[in-house]
Amino acid sequence: MVGVFIAHLIFALVMLGMVTGIIAYLILLERKTAAWIQDRIGPNRVGPQGLLQPLADGVKFILKEEFMPIHADKILFILAPIVIIAPALCGFAVIPWGGDLAAGTALPKFLGGWAFPHTFHVMVANPQIGVLFVIAMASLSVYGVVLAGWASGSKYSFLGGLRATAQMISYEIPMVLSLLSVAVVAGTLRLGPITDLQATYFSSVSFLPAWNVFTQPVAFLLFVTCIFAESNRTPFDLAECEQELVGGYHTEYSSMKFALFFLAEYSAMITGSAVAVALFLGGWHLPWIDQLLYHGAQPVATGWLGMLLKFVVFWGKVIAFLFFYMWVRWTLPRFRFDQLMNLAWRGMIPLSLATFVMASVFVYLRQEGIIEHRGWLLLGNVVLIGIMFAVTELRPADSGNRRMYVLNSRYNPIPASAKAELESAV
Amino acid sequence: MDYALIIATALGAIALYLLLPRGRANMVKLGGLASVLAMGVGITYLIHWTAAAHAGHTGIIENLFFYAFAALALVSAAGVVCHPKPLYAALYFVLMTLAVSGLFIMLMAEFIAVVLIIIYAGAILVTYVFVIMLASQGGQTPAAQYDTNSSDGFMAVFVSFVLLGTVLQAIFCAGPAGFMHSLPAPHAVAHGLGSLEVLGANLYSRYALPLELAGILLTISLVGAVMIARKNEPVAHVLGTGDLPAE
């Protein structure tokens, strides 16, 4: 009992250290990626190849002046950075990052050599509501943004907060539905078993691993889009777009409080990527090479060496996904606000509902024993994409970019017909 | 009749009445004192009661968590009705939801706990906060009179605490033995009652009809929301101020 508690404590500390350490270097990676895409060199002055830059940034953040605007609501102004970072870090607790330790695996000698009596899940916590916990923490992260925007007493912050709230509420719905369509096929909400089910192949001859990204590509696409929107990054960074709102909801923040917003954004990114990896990209599963190592699919329960391998594979995937985040940020331009809302409410929510219904039908047919193979799910997804394009063609043409007529304008004068109607209305 | 309980309820009523925001002299300090007294009496009573119920056995850690969450829930519930700023009231509501979901987790009802957070804290209260933000813009701007003063505070406190007192008497006067008898044993809860599988199986077999009806209701309200939100396209979108040019 005490051993299990200590093991969980160690896992929690390892995760906290990993996440905060990775955040520091993510900022460097972000700047290096930006430089690479824009054909620059990037930070290269502090340490070899600029590797000590995160340290310099941290010291700079701490030494900067703390500033609070006179119209700010003091309590909420201080509370906001705390409220935004706590759920962002909490969400990581239910991520499985090392499979299982087999029963009988002993701790190293210097830790007492105590052996686990049962199979041990390598994660901080394994509640039966895993996926829902992730969703709950994601839904709480809105408050930090709202409070920061409101408490600053500044128009830029306020507008940024409003935009961010509307966006995060809208994109939460397709995110939840895409997560649920994965959970309903797996038949559980625990993240561990959902990952374990993916550590196999479509069939013995096939070389395609049975990851959820291959069985449910539509859900994956929806989920990835939503986590981009949830963490307020380009192309969804309307809440903090520099050209319009200075810095958005954190305009008035400085010093370490601003750093906390930065940390929260990056830890939300890490948690989002970790959930994407665990639920869609096979988690710790190392495809193809596991057939050489284990002569078959990778086993769920292993000893310490196997766990270490899984740990490396999992974090490798997460970092690759994080790089994808940055790649997108420095490649795609920002949406306009009405495009953003249209995408969520008229595009993604109906599509995610359709995905969810299709996954439920698959589960029903599997229960009845009519279809067995996961390939049917992939086929269903392909059909769904086809239907989506057909419906898009049939839908009445969107008015798209509407022309805004401006009174007394030289460029967009009100047309004569409209003017007559307006006058009659007035 | 249980006099300690009546005293605690009455003290609570007085405390809440004094704490309610009013335009005239505020008696926050007096109200705070009364609320501390009320909670003190209540907690002492509860400790004695549980000690009697378990024949001296007290799981000290679980009790500590219970008292912490329960006190947090009570304080934040009082904050919801007593804070003069609407945004703070909404945030106290969020805190109360979190505290109550903590209590649910202690009862092994993880699903209810998380759903409480997702629905109340994550959806409903975000909308509240959103609306309040739109209504009262930013920072230290003083709120309107009707937002800061409670209307009919006395009647509200009186009725709610009479109800609370009655319910508490009904629960606690049966005595520890009678009350514990009517509850499922803790290990039964741990091994199924709160679990997702049992909940799902119950929802889709015993309560299938209510569930379907709720689904239909939600669909109707979704369609209704779309209908309400649909804009009547105006002839022209006009920006700018000033009168129409006089041809």
- Locate the chain A residue with the closest alpha carbon to B235: A418
Q: What are phi and psi of A322, to 5 degrees?
A: -65, -35
Contact across the interface for B118 and A136, Cβ inside 8 Å = yes
Angstrom distances, CA of residue A165 to CA of A233, A292, A393, B88: 14, 49, 32, 18
Measure the CA–CA gap between A216 and A294, rounded to whole angstroms: 27
The structure tokens listed for B193 are 């009652």
- What pLDDT was estimated at residue B54? 65
Q: How many CA atoms lie within 13 A of A389 on its CB side?
A: 6
Nearest to B196 among A128, A155, A162 (CB): A128
* Å between A389 CA and nearest CA of chain B: 23
Report domain extents, chain B: 3-194, 195-229
Number of continuous H segments (helices) and E segments (strands) in chain A:
16, 4
Q: How many CA atoms lie within 13 A of A218 on its CB side?
A: 30
Sign of CA dihedral A314, A320, A323, A325: negative
Residues of A in contact with B236 (CB under 8 A): 405, 414-415, 418-419, 421-422
- Which residues of chain B fall short of a pLDDT of 70? 1, 23-26, 52-62, 136-149, 174-194, 231-247
Q: Is B10 helix (H, G, I), strand (E, B) or coil?
A: helix
Measure the CA–CA gap between B29 and B242, rounded to whole angstroms: 54
Measure the CA–CA gap between A19 and A13, rounded to whole angstroms: 10
Report domain extents, chain A: 1-53, 64-96+121-395
The structure tokens listed for B187 are 């290990």
Residues of B in contact with A143 (CB under 8 A): 91, 94, 121, 126, 129
- What pLDDT was estimated at residue A320? 92
Residues of B in contact with A166 (CB under 8 A): 130
Max CA pair span of chain B: 93
Query: What is the tens place of the pLDDT at every residue in A387-404?
Result: 888 888 887 666 556 667
Measure the CA–CA gap between A259 and A56, rounded to whole angstroms: 13
With b meaning 16 or more CB within 10 Å and e meaning fewer, what string describes A53-63?
A: bbeebeeebee
Measure the CA–CA gap between A91 and A383, rounded to whole angstroms: 34
- Locate the chain B residue with the closest alpha carbon to A135: B118
- What pLDDT was estimated at residue B147? 62
Measure the CA–CA gap between A122 and A94, rounded to whole angstroms: 10
Residues belonging to chain B with any Cβ–Cβ distance to chain A shorter than 8 Å: 87, 91, 94, 110-111, 114-115, 117-118, 121-123, 126-127, 129-130, 133-134, 137-140, 195-196, 235-242, 244-245
Query: What is the tens place of the pLDDT at every residue in A91-134?
Result: 888 888 877 777 777 777 666 667 777 777 777 777 888 889 98
Contact across the interface for B240 and A409, Cβ inside 8 Å = yes
* Å between A150 CA and nearest CA of chain B: 5
DSSP single-letter state for residue A239: G
- What pLDDT was estimated at residue B143? 59
The structure tokens listed for B85 are 């700023």
Q: B143 in the Ramachandran plot: left (φ > 0), alpha (ψ -120 to 50) or beta?
A: beta
* Closest by CA position to B129, among listed B81, B79, B90: B90
Contact across the interface for B140 and A71, Cβ inside 8 Å = yes
Taking a C-beta distance cutoff of 8 angstroms, is the pair A236, A228 a contact? yes
* pTM for this predicted structure: 0.83
Residue with tokens 């609570």: B12
Mean pLDDT on A295-306: 74
Measure the CA–CA gap between A68 and A77, rounded to whole angstroms: 8
* Å between A286 CA and nearest CA of chain B: 31
- For domain B3-194, give the CATH number: 1.20.120.1200
Q: Indicate if the pLDDT at residue A349 is higher than 70.
A: yes
- Gyration radius of chain B's alpha carbons: 24
Measure the CA–CA gap between B188 and B201, rounded to whole angstroms: 17
- What pLDDT was estimated at residue A223? 92
DSSP single-letter state for residue B120: I
Contact across the interface for B244 and A405, Cβ inside 8 Å = no
Q: A236 in the Ramachandran plot: left (φ > 0), alpha (ψ -120 to 50) or beta?
A: alpha
- Locate the chain A residue with the closest alpha carbon to B91: A143
* Å between B195 CA and nearest CA of chain A: 8
- What pLDDT was estimated at residue A15? 83
Contact across the interface for A150 and B138, Cβ inside 8 Å = yes
* Closest by CA position to A111, among listed A304, A335, A302: A304
Query: Ranked by mean pLDDT, which of A22-31, A49-58, A405-414, B91-100 comes out on top?
Result: B91-100
Choice between B47 and A14, residue whose per-residue pLDDT is larger: A14
- What pLDDT was estimated at residue B184? 55
SS3 sequence of B135-176? HCCCCCCCCCHHHHCCCCHHHHHHHHHHHHHHHHHHHHCCHH
Task: Give me the residues paired with residue A100 across strands.
Answer: A121, A301
Above pLDDT 70, what percent of chain A? Answer: 94
Instruction: Write the CB contacts of A403 (distance below 8 Å, at least 6 apart in sequence).
Output: A412, B237
Contact across the interface for A146 and B133, Cβ inside 8 Å = yes
> Edge-to-edge, what's the strand order for the sheet holding A100-101?
A120-121, A100-101, A301-302
Measure the CA–CA gap between B197 and B243, rounded to whole angstroms: 66
Query: What is the tens place of the pLDDT at every residue in A324-344?
Result: 988 988 888 888 777 788 888
Distance of CA B84 to the CA centre of its chain: 18
